[in-house]
Structure 1
């Protein structure tokens, strides 16, 4: 073979590679659609796997794996937990380790049974916040009965939003009974003990510099309306390419700007029909040729390098080829829903937001994203005196990796027939207002302690209760009570990358990691305690590293909410409402930023130099000119990485979805205080029921707001899309409440 033939066959191989990638994407979509259709058919009371299998081109086993309710009676001696369908993205091939069978699970390491908290036991000494917060996510030990129940860019380091805060768009096939994803644990003996330390010379400290504000404009690429301070322009953007936006904006504003917020138009989606996935379309838009500009390599203390490829809220970073000007193109949708809002009102919302934050942080600056802003504002609350005057040290990389792999985020779950009726009498949505702000009053600080099963067993019941009530993360073996007839309480790893489900089948046993608030709820819930065996644990001292930051944000949120309720100008009411939503995003995504996910480098390489693509990279997109790829790079030395704080807040929020005490009303709210069979879905901060509940609402963080009520009969949703459609219908028909609605 000569060089000419070799190069020709290489070109043919590239074409085959591109065709295979497109075919794989199309096949994955078809298989997902097939799983959805099978799930929908399984809802029919007379549906049989024997008829569905040949129609789907699958074996009986494959059909039953997708829809376990179709399994023959002889295979389902107990109600399978798999009927609770986690709404997660469809797992891709190779997304996680091979699942193991819980039914055949070996006993593994021995555990110590946690105490029954439904019996009176001395309560740990409360902090000064305990009267309003300490037991809001679970009933008190001595009073657990509650109400009676009835039967080419470079690496991007911009954490725009935690993944779990962006609801997934696809419904995965149900989890097969008896399968789960393996979770890592702490090694036995000295190897594991070495994990319980901090990373050397890596500490969250108060900054010694002042952030610099950036000149910002707001652009609607549909109408061409551009707002800069008190000026409004109208631009002609026939293609709305990055190059066209940059050159046109800088022609109108020759002195230049540093940040362009796109308020409407989503120009990165204009050619979405030419790509198999939105992310491919976004990558192509960001990496298209921009004459006179190149990808920005970053500058300043908040250095951000390269583009950030996100399917809906991407970030493009550019600089003049002469290096004199730097500019970001971002989506205002990172902060709040901008649909139907004019750029001038969005500008007013950012002004109101800045003013509200300045009342608490004199040096506050709005950065590009809520997560950046939240993290920057938090660092300005790090104490300069007292115990943590030198800052908060960062956990070892091993423990950070463990939290990343074992601490899930918001609970997203759809419960389908026969666990709920095929015809729902109603669908009622209860959403927790500013939920995460309710759970920031306490977080773990100090050097973590390892609590082995033997150590836990050596403690008194009072010490065990105190430990489970504190800030901790526990490796546990869980058994659902034989008489259980309600929703699951603790998350269990499901097949797929970072997928979780909530087993509820009586007698089912599984091993998982869970936070203290959820463990406490499982042991003290109003329906009866679960059996929890402590295998291992990570225990922190209780501290308040987020309390000051959260209080200031809650005050800013309350002020803006009041403006939204009372302002007589409709435009200003809208601006204040959007600003209050932005405060919520700052706290929500700021918490997500503490989790510090392992970084992924996104890059581009000319197709003429494809041999330069890193050997460990995954190709995620391509066009005639460039190849777009990504590869994981692990954890960076982020001085503000505190996944233990994010994990505790997420655990507290999930527990409050199940049981939350309202002291001032002497009552409880949450899914476990509803009759069995009435919970249809969980969606991060919201629960969907078939009956309205008399839960109190005072517009405070954590309160359950009735946001929608759709009267029945309603066909039970079989997919997330169906649930969202019913949710929107319920919101549109909801009558105004007497209590002002908080964002």
Structure 2
């Protein structure tokens, strides 16, 4: 660069500065205005929510929000049937059904530790409360009913720091006829076996870092420039046929290329997705049985959808939706998808690999629905009312994510051990609730015999309970309780504390029959389903594919095929994991983007949408559209699997036998010394004490994934936790070399 170029560059920089400053001022003013309007809206919602006849659905419609948003602001309003969004979102938006909540890491909830304080009294369902003792921990005797009849009344009890006015109060089922109206199936809506076959889509696999593209027709190296959308589409379709409709990025993450200029990854992703397009290309606006329109702005696994003319459609997706490629080249990743299809084909005759594991999982499950005339559920599995689905959405959490920091554990711990349950969810799919549930009120439960009570708690069920922790309890918490913030959970552990929550039958049983000391459980209300096996055939077939791929990965003589089969086995796990998540049918979140005006003005957003990001050329937004009429909406199944997995994380059977008794050996956090558990991450336990549970390689068994046998500083933050996790995995890998 010479002096002339330098001077010209300074002139250009000043022009950019002068153009940027007014936009920044306008953005600041806009953000301030948006903040004030949101505060004003929320204040009005709380005011209206105090009206005795207020309903969340009417307020949601008036506010342009979803019912769940209203309940978060006014917890006293039970979910009264979330308003349905449009059946098909416009071309500029996309329903995020192929990015499950299960795919995003659960928000870590760190329990605060302080001296117990008085817990505020909260309103609870009135009526008779059945107080339950627990069966002896070494027998299978029935429950002992301690009080046949007692009026429900909240009692002050010790509470953890952080429990206060901001802690969420979970919704309850209304009393009397209002609550009875919740217990019905949606009319003309049931899960039925499809009568069509999915269309197969051509796939290509691209390493965006080095420009290597692999598809059925061969392997080529491309010049991608900066790997913008325009450069990728131009380069790929210069060599690949239009039949290639999915481009999986295996490495390079081009959507993060401007991340240093943004505070949030989603803004960088939105900027990349909305970049300039080649001539004749537009954002996709058509849809079919398995196609969606528009982009999905996800921070790590986005989906971009475009079309050229009316006939050519393409998606750019991350292979990270399926598995971590662990540095595998595009040819190996393609081989993994081939092996995945080959392993599924013997068990699912009409298998088609769709864009994501969640879509694939739901489609494969739908093809296991009974179709033979006269078979039970041959007419389809009924979908519950929106009220029950909304209640489960608000009260049934997913995997347990918890960091247990000092002073609950010592500042310095003697070691670090990570164990993870293999293919854990597969072990909790044998029995699920089917049909419309019965309501089991406190009075009805108290009137049951001890055997009926036991049977009810062991059946597929979901209970509103008041929990009292034993005064001398010195281990981890057992049951989830609402924490501040929507869909956030923590696990109270303080001896003597009483709290009210919702929990699945598996967790309630664990609290009553844990190997240390029973907790006191009072049944306030509950949902009880008929026990069936709607997921069993699907899960069994996926497990067969998983086992066959693992066996090939152990025995194959070719390194690439071994790695491909190993990756394919993880894809099977994703199909089951995220397939279960699709049943939860979270409220429908749509995202979209709009171009700024010619002068940089922010355009008017769609009704009910909120601004989520702004770039030099576009704004992004999202909108909660409530619950759609989805024939595959079965949150009762997802809730049951999640509850069983959380319970087994504390204590559950393994595939190994006790040599003395011949019974399955038990494993879980409660089988570790008090004060040794450092963290939970969905199916993983992190401990400062050595973990020596035998590993049989079956679903639910604990696999050692990280180990450091020397003293460590206990983590206090997520950053410190993940740093130690990485070190321990490297240390174990070094031991095995």
TM-score category (smaller protein): 0.7 to 0.9
Alpha-carbon offset, residue 363 of structure 1:
0.9
Matched, 1:296 2:308: no
1:565-584 mapped onto 2 (5 Å cutoff): 565-584=554-573
- The SS at the match of 1:497 is coil
Does the 8 Å CA contact 1:87/1:720 hold for their aligned counterparts? no
- For residue 372 of structure 1, the aligned residue among 359, 368, 378 is 359
Match of 1:347 in 2: 334
Cα distance in structure 1, aligned partners of 2:356 and 2:118: 42
The aligned residue for residue 590 of structure 2 is: 601
Classify the secondary structure of the residue corresponding to 1:394: strand
Match of 2:27 in 1: 15
> 1:117–1:141: 8 Å Cα contact kept in structure 2?
no
Q: Does 1:518 align with 2:530?
A: no
CA distance in 1, matches of 2:237, 2:592: 27
Is 1:104 aligned to 2:121, yes or no?
yes
Structure 1 position 12, deviation (Å): 8.4
User: How far apart, CA to CA, are the structure 1 residues paired with 2:454 and 2:286?
Assistant: 49
Mapping of residues 190-589 of structure 1, within 5 Å: 190-291=177-278, 292-320=280-308, 322-385=309-372, 386-589=375-578
Distance 1:464 1:656 in 2: 22
SS of residue paired to 1:308:
coil
* Equivalent pair of 1:118/1:528 in contact (CA under 8 Å): no
Contact 2:200–2:353 (CA<8 Å) still a contact in 1? yes
* Larger deviation, residues 688-697 vs 328-337: 688-697
Q: 2: distance between equivalents of 1:356 and 1:473?
A: 36
Deviation per residue, 1:349-385 (Å, 9 max, x gap): 0000000000111110100000000000000000112
1:58 aligned partner: none
Q: Deviations over 1:64-97 (max 9, x none)?
A: xxxxxxxxxxxxxxxxxxxxxx983699xxxxxx
Aligned counterparts of 1:316 and 1:282: Cα–Cα separation in 2 = 10
Cα distance in 1 for partners of 2:140, 2:33 equals 56
* Partner SS, residue 251 of structure 1: coil
Unmatched tracts of structure 1, length 5 or more? 1-8, 25-85, 92-99, 121-138, 145-173
Q: Secondary structure at the match of 1:702?
A: coil
Q: Would the aligned equivalents of 2:142 and 2:451 in 1 still touch at CA under 8 Å?
A: no
Contact 2:132–2:522 (CA<8 Å) still a contact in 1? no
Deviation of 1:312 (Å): 0.2
1:181 corresponds, among 165, 168, 176, to 168
Structure 1 residues 371 and 451, CA gap change in structure 2 (3 angstroms)? same
| Aligned residue in 1 for 2:151 | none
The structure 2 residue matched to 1:707, chosen from 694, 705, 713, is: 705
Q: Is the CA contact 2:483–2:489 (under 8 Å) kept in the aligned structure 1?
A: yes
Q: Aligned residue pairs: how many?
A: 614
Distance 1:236 1:404 in 2: 47
Q: Which runs of 4+ in 1 moved over 4 A?
A: 9-13, 18-24, 735-738
Question: 1:20: how far off?
Answer: 5.7
Q: What's the secondary structure of 2:625's corresponding residue?
A: strand
- Indicate if the aligned counterparts of 1:250 and 1:256 stay in contact, CA closer than 8 A: no
Residues 474-520 of structure 1 deviation map (CA, whole Å, 9 limit, x = unaligned): 01111111111111000000001211000000111111110000000
| Counterpart residue number, 2:140 | 141
Contact 1:264 1:339 in 2 (8 A): no
CA contact (8 A) 1:175 1:494 kept: no
Taking a change above 3 Å as real, the CA distance of residues 736 and 113 of structure 1, as seen in their structure-2 partners, is: farther
Query: Could you tell me how far 1:429 is from its partner in structure 2?
Result: 0.9
Q: State the 1:583 CA deviation.
A: 0.3
Alpha-carbon separation, structure 2, partners of 1:323 and 1:175: 59
Aligned counterpart, 1:117? 134
1:111–1:477 CA contact under 8 A, matched in 2 = no
Displacement of 1:674 after TM fit? 1.6
Q: Deviations over 1:593-628 (max 9, x none)?
A: 110111112122222274531242111112232221
Asked whether the 8 Å contact 2:206–2:212 carries over to 1, the reply is: yes
Q: Distance in 2 between matches of 1:113 and 1:525?
A: 20
CA 1:107–1:337 in 2, change beyond 3 Å: closer, same or farther?
A: closer
- Using the TM superposition, give the Cα deviation of residue 450 of structure 1 relative to its aligned residue in structure 2, in angstroms: 0.5
Q: Secondary structure at the match of 2:292?
A: coil
Output the CA distance in 1 between the equivalents of 2:541 and 2:610: 42
The aligned counterpart of 2:91 is none
Instruction: Give the conservation status (yes or no) of the 8 Å contact 1:111–1:533.
Output: no
Secondary structure of 1:734's counterpart equals helix
Q: How does 1:550-699 map to 2 (within 5 A)?
A: 550-608=539-597, 610-662=602-654, 664-665=657-658, 666=663, 667-699=665-697
Cα distance per residue 1:152-200 (max 9 Å; x no partner): xxxxxxxxxxxxxxxxxxxxxx961446211111111111111111111
Q: How large is the RMSD of aligned CA atoms in angstroms? A: 2.6
Contact 2:190 2:632 in 1 (8 A): yes
Length-normalised TM-score, structure 1: 0.79
Q: Distance in 1 between matches of 2:725 and 2:189?
A: 45
Helix, strand or coil at the partner of 1:16 = helix
